[in-house]
Structure 1
Amino acid sequence: MASCRQRASMCNYFDCLTNVYRCFVLGSCPSQSAADVAGVIFSGVCGLLSSKDRESVPAEFSVELTCISLTLVEKMTSSLIAESQPPEVRLYCIEILRVLFQDMEFMAQLVHHFRTGDQIISHLAAKSVSVNVCYHLCKVGPVSPVWQQKCVQAFHSSPPGTELDACLWSLTDVLKRLLKGGHQEILGKLLAAFDASISALCSKFLLERKKASDLVDFTSHRHWTTTFCLLLNLLEVLTASSLACGAGVCLKSQRLTHLHSSALLTSISCTSDYFVKKRVLLLLKRAVLQSSGEDWALGGGLSSGVKYEYFTSDLNILAQSVLAAVNANWLQSIQVESASFFGGTRHVRGDEGQKPDCVILRAVSLLLLKSVELHIQTAEGTGVDSASEVYGCLQSLWGFLKRCSVWVSEITHLCCWLSLVFGEQDDDMMEAAKALLSIFFHQRLSSGLDDFHLLEAACASGCNPHCHFLLLLQSVSFDHSILLDFLISTETCFLEYFVRYLKYLRVDWQGFIVTCKRIGTSDSHLSLPEPLTCSCHSDVPAPTYKSQPLVEKMSLAAGPRLVEYDSSDESDRENMDISEDEPGASMCEQGRFDALDLKEDTSGPWISVSPKQHEASESTGLLSEPGTVVRGQPQGPLLKVLPSTQRSCANMASVSGRATCETSSRAVLCLSELREVVTRLQRKKLFPYNPSSLLKLLAQVEKCSHQQQLS
């Protein structure tokens, strides 16, 4: 029987490849020999047809032949990687690929199509190349020198265009496949081969000069946006690889997102393309959250848990770049369009009431909040006074949200913005709540305010943790089963946030009750007019925070997470255990509002709080009870406990009313039901980690509620 190649007509070529493709779908071997099929594929990709065939068939048919040939190569190689075909079909595919890539030097023909003007053919060639490179790396060993040389050359010298795009896409796809397959050793060797060329490419696209005019000539290229977005995809994969490889690999290319964070922020201001702005913001958001690759990791989790050498310093570079940009009015350059709908998007108008693009709002908010949190964590060690900068950044964020969001502009209580902006995205909301909790603890330790005035100041800056928690409970209708879902979920940091908040709740129960009154008497989440006050006459003047910073010098050190969320192992008892003798428990029993007042004496003594003790307590990742007095250590900030403050506390402890009782009772009931169901699951050994310490915290909160009812 004459071979397909010998019958060399365009239609016969097409029929042959179609038949082969159908056989692979059905899991059977075609009637043609592997060498004949390889010859047809090679002719289809390289265009080795007779002049008679070219004249008799339309050009579109030739393009289709090339496309099906490239697709067939990609499908055969993918089936070998997945081992999804019967043994005889796998041997047939291996023989076809051997003939193509060894006897016919097919790789050189594939990379030649990178520069073709037809973007479909260029992309299909890149797909065929990437899957073949990955197959050889995992099954055979060496990387294709032809592909590597083409990519390195393009990264160093090619302008934005189809060739550079194909090289960027193919390398990104290979790295993704290696990451998802857990091939860290192979990944490290491949990155080392491309490290210098990738760094050189980023230096061309991400100029460090701050003026927008410096980028005009480069961004004016008509193909720039496509190439730039592909570079952003590569940067995210490189950042994800640094988390996956941990301490094993630490190359410059893996740190480029952090090292060029200032230039990435500048690119947002320079480009007029909205989707490019959004793509850069999402890249930076995932970098600061250490969640790069979450869109394509398929729930597997890429983080190894071990951090590379420059991990902390790189995060600090990113955080400082964000804060510097915000101080330079960077937020003014960010425009927010309407949320996408089926017909496209429209610009937001103030009188239309359209919902803004919450993806942008969440990205900007989280990027700024996490940067502030990182800044707080490192400010104490550097001796930098972070108070003014933290306050200024928060005010800039509120201004941005008001400018870009119709419904946010109607808020009179800033603590509500958290639920409104992040209500549709649980993981982002928990990250934001955790960051705001850290910022609040920083204010608490450094402001020198009693708890009453501290909560007023926190509401003025949108950082009251009681408000955030109560609004969260309201948003889930006080349903304990949803909190249980959060606790056992691997997709949010709710456990870490919840434990830290419960530890604070034990100390400031009266502040929680007052906040319940404010939340409970509100008609809506948009407007919470009830003031955070009590019916007393305090000698301590209520501070004004609209024109002065809330916080001073001290900062809150941050520790490691309680558990790794990609693991179901038991949480560390050493980190989770809560001592029965901790001051927080005794403070709940005494019903004191001022967390720093540990004495029965009402004469208003000066007491000292040691920063070193707070630093040590935070090293475990859990906030130890604030307010522990270290006697004989005057180096801590001195806070005056006035008799009038104690009168204020007593009055606030007696705040009651139907709204307060309903809100607080529903909240306590929700936590009580949560404790009961977690206890049952623990007894049946169905809970994914050891919840003993969490249960102890929940029991202590219930005890505080019981004592409140008795008082």
Structure 2
Amino acid sequence: MEAFYRVLEQLYKKILLGAPLENDSQECAFYLNLPFSAQDLSTSNFLKWPCVHHGNQASSVNMGATPTPLASINLKMNFQVSNPRDIMLLQLTVIKMMITKILSKKMEFSMKEKYSDIIEILLKPYELEYKLISTFHASDKLLSHMAAKCLASLLYLQLREKAIVNKTWTTFCLKTLSNYCESNTTSYCLWTLTAVIKEILKASCLQKAEILQQFLTSFDFLFEVFYCSVFSQHFENYQDTSLNPKITNFLICFLELLEILIASRIHLKLYLTCQRIFYLKIFCALDIITWPIHSLVKKKFIILIKRCLLHKVGEDVLNTSLPSLIERDPYLDTDMLALGNAFLQAVNFGWLKQLSIFGKPSHFGGSEVQPGDTSLLVPDFIILRASSLVLLKSLEIKVHNCTSADEVKAQLQKFMSELLNFLKQHLQSSLNLHHHCEWLSKIFIEQDDDMLEAAKASLSIYLKLTRAWNEAAKGMTQEKETCNHQTHENGLNPHCIFLFLLKNIGFDATVLLDFLISSETCFLEYFVRYLKLLQGERNNFSNVCKLFDTAELRDGVHFSSIVTSHVEERSNNQATRQPLFCGTNYHALLPLTSDPTTSRTNMGQKDNQTVKSKQPNLVICIDNTPSPRASQSLVDYDSSEDSEEEKVEEDYLSDIKQTPLNHQVNTKIRETVTVTGEKNQSNLESVARLLDPKEFSTFSSFGCETALSSIASQTVTSHKTFKCLKELEKAVSRLHRSHLFPYNPSALLKLLKHIDTINKNMNLL
């Protein structure tokens, strides 16, 4: 046995070095011949192996004829072989290496021919694929995994080199999918399918779509039945399914297969049933959150839905983003609508109430929560963010297919109230919402890409709502105020969301610049849409800024140089006698700048110092050569109509692939903001009407008027916002002049300058 192993070790070293094999292909294949079945892996059956019947042949094989000094390589493989398992593992490793060498472009043609001959001998006389499949039944997980890797490489080799699908594999696959059960064999079957599809997607050949279609067609008709069978299971026969590794492994393999199938649809423009089934029959799968299974499976399931709705399936698996120019998917709109409607229908039936988002605390050492002790339970923010974003994206799809303002309003109130109640129920006390629009920044503060996707979706919903409402109201002021109130009440006012974003980054223009340069978020698309909105809603934005300032004053936040000491004294004296908004209940709608755990003194100190935020590294070129994308141009945002915001970005921004440049330079664009002025009562009255027209009658009182009569006409929040945008404009312009910006921002600069002009004109009035 040891002599047989030493021959395999020499063969391994030769293939690793790329040294020529002096021996005949038949002799090499003899040593790589696997046992016939899993039962033959036992030591007692070792002598029954075909290769062992010719044990004396080992000494006649000349494996040492090579000019390369093998002794110079320390592979640490010289250990005592005690069982045939070690031999089989080495055989599988060598076979996998040979297939990899055949697929490599750097390998010499003569060596590829040699390896191909050996593989052909293993396939035909020795039935390699049948033996690999038989290994799936073994109890040894390492052997089964290595066999699955070998089989996946072998199937891909036959597809790429000969354009054929292995018949033995096809028969096994069809039998496994038709006789569904949660077994290791089924899991390895699914894993192998996933691995082959990944190899096809990663390949550089031009016929990837044809190769994949040929591979998937053989079981496409059966996959729908298998899919429905999987999600019709509830595992009632298992006492503790969550701890059953076999079921957990099977479901994870199945979800990974679904993900790679959807990714292949996106990247290769194929629309087979197995690639669309998750969109069309998602409703039967949503009950998975109630199953007694491992929380990891539920988390992967929700994240898969999120990636489908964001059209980002496969980015992590393939380490690549979508191609900049993609052919239109003829079924995408229908499938996305089916997915969104099914999810909203499940939410309407109480899906969120059934979703458990509490996980074990992350203590070093693995501390467990004792039964009945819920004090250590913390929400799983991955599930919280993913489920919130899925609902928001589904609602976006839903409202864009509504035909009337009343229908949009009904959908908005129904599902956003569900979401806000769900979040209030699970948020910790330090993250309680004090403004309905604050939910987005609270939930997504640690996940920039999801935060900006949620902000973009909320803005899209707002644009649809305002257009539908404007068409129905025909310019009526009261109806417009009601529309504004609805967006505040449902946590979707775009100005509040943008201001909370700026507050979270300390109004730091360098962070916005980092977002603009980064290709990891959709900030550019969101930012362009919001700036276009801001041009037409300057008054609404000012009112929201006044709300922010009023809330900060209410919480005792003192801005340096905002008001005179006389006004501060009057405000403090009246604040001790009565609330700022007398006779109203605006606590749930007005934005707060602090958490309940933050003291007023600390908040006052916080405003007088520079807010600390993350410092992005701006990746730029140091030479003076123009960026390769300098010739590209963003759309002229001022040239499009307001009703075409989404189409503008879809047509132009999808063509801009923001790529990092070569060197890093740290930049700082910070300045302490101080303002002076006064705020008049008429502005506060419009703010009150914006919040709640029904309660406006109780707003006015002598105490409230005198307390706020000296605040600036241009609010502190407004000043900080436009100052931040101005600093951003200067930074982008400076980088663009030096040819250091990754794309041509001329149209973006034009839009920022227009916003600055509007702001200056408003201040002159």
Closer, same or farther: CA 464–67 of 1 in aligned 2, 3 Å: same
Q: Secondary structure at the match of 1:380?
A: coil
- Aligned residues of 1:17 and 1:69 also touching (Cα < 8 A): yes
Is 1:486 the counterpart of 2:477? The answer is no
Deviations 1:304-331 (A, max 9, x none): 6223322111111111111111110111
- Rounded to whole Å, the distance in 1 between the matches of 2:110 and 2:713 is 74
Is 1:329 the counterpart of 2:389? The answer is no
Q: Give the superposition deviation at 1:28.
A: 3.0
Closer, same or farther: CA 233–617 of 1 in aligned 2, 3 Å: closer
Closer, same or farther: CA 527–289 of 1 in aligned 2, 3 Å: farther
- Rounded to whole Å, the distance in 2 between the matches of 1:160 and 1:693 is 56
Closer, same or farther: CA 651–133 of 1 in aligned 2, 3 Å: closer
What is the letter of the counterpart of residue 498 of structure 2?
F
- Aligned residues of 1:239 and 1:255 also touching (Cα < 8 A): yes
Residue aligning to 2:379: 356
Residue aligning to 2:73: none
- Aligned residues of 2:5 and 2:81 also touching (Cα < 8 A): no
Q: Give the superposition deviation at 1:502.
A: 0.5
Counterpart among 45, 50, 55 of residue 47 in structure 2: 50
Residue aligning to 2:228: 203
Gaps of 5+ in 2: 54-78, 558-579, 590-627, 652-680, 691-707
- Rounded to whole Å, the distance in 2 between the matches of 1:514 and 1:227 is 54
What is the letter of the counterpart of residue 115 of structure 2?
C
What is the letter of the counterpart of residue 229 of structure 2?
K
Residue aligning to 1:104: 126
Is 1:190 the counterpart of 2:215? The answer is yes
- Aligned residues of 2:369 and 2:377 also touching (Cα < 8 A): no
Is 1:677 the counterpart of 2:731? The answer is yes
- Rounded to whole Å, the distance in 2 between the matches of 1:256 and 1:656 is 62
Residue aligning to 2:422: 400
Is 1:708 the counterpart of 2:765? The answer is no
Compare 420-429 and 115-124 and name the one that shifted more: 115-124
- Rounded to whole Å, the distance in 1 between the matches of 2:132 and 2:530 is 57
- Rounded to whole Å, the distance in 2 between the matches of 1:664 and 1:344 is 48
- Rounded to whole Å, the distance in 1 between the matches of 2:649 and 2:105 is 44
Counterpart among 238, 241, 249 of residue 226 in structure 1: 249
TM-score (normalizing by structure 2): 0.71
Residue aligning to 2:31: 40
Q: Give the superposition deviation at 1:60.
A: 6.6
Q: Secondary structure at the match of 1:379?
A: coil
Gaps of 5+ in 1: 1-9, 208-213, 529-534, 547-566, 585-613, 624-643
- Rounded to whole Å, the distance in 2 between the matches of 1:568 and 1:365 is 36
Deviations 1:641-669 (A, max 9, x none): xxx99995599999984797443333222
Q: Give the superposition deviation at 1:408.
A: 6.8
- Aligned residues of 2:408 and 2:465 also touching (Cα < 8 A): no
Deviations 1:253-275 (A, max 9, x none): 11011112101211222344211
Closer, same or farther: CA 453–200 of 1 in aligned 2, 3 Å: closer
Q: Give the superposition deviation at 1:354.
A: 6.2
Residue aligning to 2:320: 299
Residue aligning to 2:162: 140
1:336-485 alignment runs, 5 A limit: 336-338=357-359, 341=362, 343-344=365-366, 352=375, 355-380=378-403, 385-407=407-429, 410-447=432-469, 448=473, 454-485=483-514
What is the letter of the counterpart of residue 670 of structure 1?
C
1:86-105 alignment runs, 5 A limit: 89-105=111-127
- Aligned residues of 1:244 and 1:304 also touching (Cα < 8 A): no
What is the letter of the counterpart of residue 262 of structure 1?
F
Counterpart among 630, 639, 645 of residue 579 in structure 1: 639
1:236-251 alignment runs, 5 A limit: 236-246=259-269, 249-251=270-272
Q: Give the superposition deviation at 1:353.
A: 6.9
Q: Secondary structure at the match of 1:432?
A: helix
Closer, same or farther: CA 237–40 of 1 in aligned 2, 3 Å: same
Closer, same or farther: CA 503–231 of 1 in aligned 2, 3 Å: same
- Rounded to whole Å, the distance in 1 between the matches of 2:587 and 2:432 is 22
Compare 138-147 and 281-290 and name the one that shifted more: 138-147
- Rounded to whole Å, the distance in 1 between the matches of 2:528 and 2:395 is 21
Compare 226-235 and 313-322 and name the one that shifted more: 226-235
RMSD: 4.2
Q: Secondary structure at the match of 1:707?
A: helix
Closer, same or farther: CA 451–646 of 1 in aligned 2, 3 Å: farther
Closer, same or farther: CA 351–166 of 1 in aligned 2, 3 Å: closer
Residue aligning to 1:83: 105
- Rounded to whole Å, the distance in 2 between the matches of 1:679 and 1:410 is 40
- Rounded to whole Å, the distance in 1 between the matches of 2:454 and 2:757 is 29
What count of residue pairs does the alignment treat as equivalent? 612
TM-score (normalizing by structure 1): 0.76
- Give 1 or 2 for the bigger CA radius of gyration: 2
Closer, same or farther: CA 651–160 of 1 in aligned 2, 3 Å: closer
Deviations 1:70-106 (A, max 9, x none): 1222232223323355666544433332322244331
- Aligned residues of 1:257 and 1:287 also touching (Cα < 8 A): no
Closer, same or farther: CA 650–232 of 1 in aligned 2, 3 Å: closer
- Rounded to whole Å, the distance in 2 between the matches of 1:41 and 1:345 is 48
Q: Give the superposition deviation at 1:240.
A: 1.2
